[in-house]
A and B are shown apart, each in its own frame.
Chain A
Amino acid sequence: MGSGVFIGTDAILETAYPHRLSIGDRVVVGHRALIIAHFRESDSFRDEDEPAVVIEDDVFIGPNVTILPNVTIGHGAVVTAGSVVSQSVPPLTMVQGVPARPVARCGVPLGMRTPLKEFYRQLRPLRSPARPAESSPPARARDEPDERDG
């Protein structure tokens, strides 16, 4: 768990195998969010296993979001309320829906200290017909070295 993390009321963070969850600095986890880092109790997990859910620095997870195992949420990404994340999220990307899909690029992370309108001002839609296809940076592959400490 990183520093400056906010955990909302009634959030549930992988209770059975907490070592399978990695949370970076300044992450916001909304109320009633559910983060699951394993599916089956019958699977055997070792303490030295790589985390199954990696939430990088400055990620904003909205209320009532569900995050499923084997995903990385890239730094500065935003998961909107009620979404279900079943695939990795590229950095500085807003995702929405069930399953969560990218809807916008974020110019700045939506941190606790980021004015909301500053965040909005730098949001760029990904599906505008007038906009050339934007290529989001790929999510960090699970086997790449992690440049963070968290």
Chain B
Amino acid sequence: MTADVRAAMLETLIEPLAAVGRAPADVPDDLDLLAEGVIDSFGLLELISSLEARYATVLDFSELPPGELTVVGPLTRHLAAQIEG
């Protein structure tokens, strides 16, 4: 599930990733999407909406430490756990 969520997340971010010279295959787990300029608040909202629609669920980030919110690895694992329920 984690790999599927990671792929879905990065697919959503193809354009903003390309804007900073990255492809989904080049994204390391420790990439901070916010610090790297891949997403801003709207990017995060769009990402959440996209994943919620894709997996027909409502995501909750209350247990994800704020510092990990926009870091690919922790975020992916958190999303996968949420989606698996």
Interface size, chain B (Cβ < 8 Å) = 21
The answer, yes or no, to whether A113 is at the interface (CB within 8 Å) is no
A96, B56: Cβ atoms closer than 8 Å = no
A-B pairs with beta carbons under 8 A, tally: 56
Distance in angstroms from A92 CB to nearest chain B CB is 14
B60, closest chain A residue (CB) = A124
Distance in angstroms from B59 CB to nearest chain A CB is 9
Q: Which residues of chain B have C-beta atoms less than 8 A from A123's C-beta?
A: 41, 44-45
A96 to B42, CA, bound (A): 9
A129 to B61, CA, bound (A): 18
A106, closest chain B residue (CB) = B41
B64, closest chain A residue (CB) = A121
1/0 contact trace for A111-125 toward B, CB 8 Å? Answer: 000011111111111
Residues on B lying within 8 angstroms of A by beta carbon are 34, 41-42, 44-46, 48-49, 52-53, 55-58, 61-62, 64, 66-67, 69-70
Given contacts A119-B41, A127-B49, 8 further A-B pairs with CB under 8 A are A80-B42, A103-B42, A104-B45, A121-B66, A123-B41, A123-B45, A130-B52, A130-B57
Residues on A lying within 8 angstroms of B by beta carbon are 80, 94, 96, 103-104, 115-125, 127-131
